[in-house]
Structure 1
């Protein structure tokens, strides 16, 4: 029996059920263990209650205490610093990493009138929206996907921006009014990907998780997270990143785009490198962004 730890939210349990079903299809028995994290019970702004880690620390504590065997995280919520005794046993195939707009009256971002209010709690999104010069206003919001969408349907905001992957996993893509092009809005590092964490010495579980691994996704998110780590920023900082494995002149290569919010706008740069060295690519692009600020 594999004990799978998950947050209690609808999205977290949907994501964890996807992983559980894949493991069950491989012949493993899986039990979901519901765990409450700080981020689930405290509705204050993320940066006020601990920033990175507020959605994962309780799951990690349960892993280290041998109360669960694996934990399923949204990778974008996972701090970049490693934890002694724990490893990312698998990073499955990534969902669409882009952000989406859910707006009143079916409007797109460009169609929202000046003065419209967009709900988002992410500094990354606010910085990139402001840089577009659309004359809209961003206001901080917290809560799950259902709560955020209800702000639009209840008329409290004109639109919200959320991760497409979460909306997809909850079966609510029909409510999306626009999928935002990364040229406008680079996603959070690791967005759309799941991280399956386990104890480093649990060889049986590691062997089971190896079947869920997607090497291209791991390479991409490793580059994105290294960029974030090199910038010494947490998940609440105005940093966007997206890496993709593309076909280069000499075969597959990794293409990384990064965005860093500054007082005078958003710096955007891109770079490419070998698929088997995503860490160096992430460091190099982060350092170039820092040099341009």
Structure 2
């Protein structure tokens, strides 16, 4: 394959992360690459994300272009990718995950704890809304959309006192050094399933040998296993963007640990479950089996704890 066309959303963040992946594909495959920007409904609409049908609005146009043959692969932020299988497509690689934490970016020297009573904090994520209200019910949460620069600009201009952003996005845009943000640790502030990770999607069936080899080089088994565990909780609860769910999975000392928390939308209630599984080896097959096992137990615990009673989720068999 002399030319590999890589589809992406057209935002600055999407282009930055896709360009980095495209360069790695080019090197590994020994081929030229072309970036193919694709406009999605989620990029053009200013409606709240939850009312648009969830994060899938960012993925659908990319997937349609891939199926139509307009590109050979597409790069997604994994947290934006629905958990249900998409006919004709599969995830070809999950590169090594970046920082999964959220960052509070506030005006002046304010921190989460020193934000004034009634401070205006911007986010478009129901999960972040619930977490903010759980810790600081006095805050005025403002629903926002727009790219990272737009969100940071509203803090700089004084329209908002703070915004919550993903550390991975700030890093990929080389903005971490220029913003004085407060990292919110995963142990107290779990983030969206798959946050910080990317997914490279391809058409099902046989693909070019050079591209297949490149994807195998880019795939990171630990990231694939931990994000699979997180996303399987989401899938087993049939929960999407409208359900405030935070997850954290990690492999440590030979164990795959998974913690998931489901919040009520107003942050007044939550249920949490943590489990661990022991993979038979660090092969991808055994890591995936462990991810399936631990996510099943966590999802069952969440339901037994009453999560379905206060979060917009459905129970699947």
Shared fold (TM-score, shorter chain, > 0.5): yes
Quickly name the TM-score band, shorter chain normalised.
over 0.9
Give the corresponding residue for 1:115.
118
- Give the one of 80, 92, 101 matched to 2:104: 101
> Displacement, 1:45?
0.6
- Give the one of 32, 40, 45 matched to 1:42: 45
Contiguous gaps of at least 5 residues in structure 2: 280-286, 307-317
Number of residue pairs matched? 289
Q: SS of the counterpart of 1:58? A: helix
Question: Structure 1: how far apart are the matches of 2:238 and 2:247?
Answer: 14
Match status 1:271 vs 2:275 = yes
> Displacement, 1:208?
2.2
Contiguous gaps of at least 5 residues in structure 1: none
- Give the one of 158, 166, 184 matched to 2:169: 166
Give the corresponding residue for 2:189.
185
Q: SS of the counterpart of 2:121? A: strand
- Give the one of 158, 168, 172 matched to 1:155: 158
Shifted more, 268-277 versus 223-232: the winner is 268-277
Give the corresponding residue for 2:60.
57
Output aligned runs, 1:2-81, within 5 Å: 2-26=4-28, 27-81=30-84
Give the corresponding residue for 2:140.
137
Give the corresponding residue for 2:215.
209
Give the corresponding residue for 2:245.
239
Question: Structure 2: how far apart are the matches of 1:51 and 1:101?
Answer: 23
1:103-145 superposed Cα distances (whole Å, 9 cap, x missing partner): 0012211111221111011110111111114632211111111
Q: Report if the CA contact (8 A) 2:126-2:241 is conserved.
A: no
Question: Structure 1: how far apart are the matches of 2:269 and 2:34?
Answer: 47
Structure 1 pair 266/176, CA: closer, same or farther in 2 (3 Å)?
A: farther
> Displacement, 1:286?
1.3
Shifted more, 165-174 versus 45-54: the winner is 45-54
Give the corresponding residue for 1:283.
296
> Displacement, 1:284?
1.2
Length-normalised TM-score, structure 1: 0.95
Match status 1:195 vs 2:208 = no
Q: What is the RMSD of the two structures over their aligned residues, measured on CA atoms?
A: 1.3
Length-normalised TM-score, structure 2: 0.88
